[in-house]
Amino acid sequence: MSYAKLDAHCRALGALEHALSILGTDEATNMAPGGGEQRAEAMATLSGMYHRQATDSHVRDWIEAAKTESLEPEQKIALGELERSFINMTCLPSDFVERKMRTGMRSEQLWRSARPKGDWQAFQPALEGIVSMLREEAAMRAEVLGLAPYDALMEQFDPGNRTAQITPVFAELKAFLVDFLPTALAAQEERLAKRPLKPLSGDYPVERQKALGIEMMKAVGFDMNHGSLSVSDHPFCGGVPSDVRMTTRYRTDEFLPALMGILHETGHGLYEQNLPKDWAHWPSGKARGMSIHESQSLFVEKQIGRNPAFWRFALPLVDAHLHESWTMEDLLPHVHLIKRGKIRVDADEVTYPLHVILRYELEQDLLSGRLEVKDLPEAWDAKMQASLGISTLDDPKNGPMQDVHWPSGSFGYFPSYTLGALMAAQQWAAILRINPDVNEQIGSGDFDQVNAWRRDNIWSKASTASTPEILRQATGEDLNPSYFIAHLEARYGQ
């Protein structure tokens, strides 16, 4: 039977995906600096093998033949998602896939050495090569998929979402945030005038922070038997569902950035660990896309981790591990602190979307040719000043060099972060409607009902529908920014 051949085909691809994922995670966390060249070659070769196997002409024949077989509803969904994946894979020739992997890894390795020094002149040629390659990729994908070039790239990270729907939502959100930020900062200043921010002790050894982080991970449901926590330059969640590799980065003079990073990545890890295991080797059993992935990580970080109810449970753990003696009134102003800043990953709930929208706008300009890489620092600075009132012109390290996404060739990824924040707020509102006691449950350290809703409505759905359809099924409506706006107003506007 052709369906059985496809099942075996997906299992073989799954083995290659597993190897590539673990190799990629190791490259970012454990590999010696001198191993970069050979690792790039090895991963490029494996990527080419994967692509050639995934796009073998027999696969198309098997898909067409399987459509005529008697299949269960879940098998039909799996077959449909495999066909969508196959079409996206066959947009690109295998030699281009190898070149992309090799170029991206070398660019990323150069970025790691150039960024600490803010050496834009050294990094610029590498990014120019990436942008040129992405323009080539976007053109190939757009022709096959019948999409605009940027939408064709975004489809690889977030199936079903399009700029035609996203851009108006982002425009509404940006207009709100630019007006709301001064209001929120004024309200914060008024609160801090009455009760000044209690200074952190500044003595937080990494081993204590890691122990605290792991206890938090376990508390919210992460299975440490199928996951781990390491250190990297840029926090991420990698690996595979049976072996989730999470990372964060630490500072010993404060603990909240690392802890919030751990909670964020734990949200990713929970999604991966709870995908349907029976379909793990089929595309329909994998994570839907990055905006849903980000909705799960931001749900844990924002809706749970910055929720005052959560800290009724978490504060004693902080005190025990970090040898502090805090009250809720001491800690919450730190948890909810907002400020204008240059760094996306360190940004608060209010300013973070402005960082993302800036990147969303710039990478479309880069892809279309309206902007060239040599002019990127000035364009970045102009948008930062317009939205956040900050200049980065003399600080490329904390301007256009700060993220790993562009050096690695990931255009179309950034919108997922803010789409995820919007979706997380919408999901939280849906939970509140059916479970008004959710804050009391979280305050007592009980995450079972929250996780049950997410398992039923998000995790178990995997890639059985498009991103917009999964959100509609889960919450009863299309993406609606009003929930996120209301969330910010309630938490920061008074």
CA atoms of 263 and 258, how far apart (whole Å): 9
Could you give the angle at which helices 415-434 and 467-475 cross, rounded to 10 degrees?
20
Instruction: Supply the residues annotated as catalytic.
Output: 265
Positive or negative CA dihedral for 327, 330, 336, 341? negative
Answer left, alpha or beta for residue 194, where phi above 0 means left and psi between -120 and 50 means alpha.
alpha
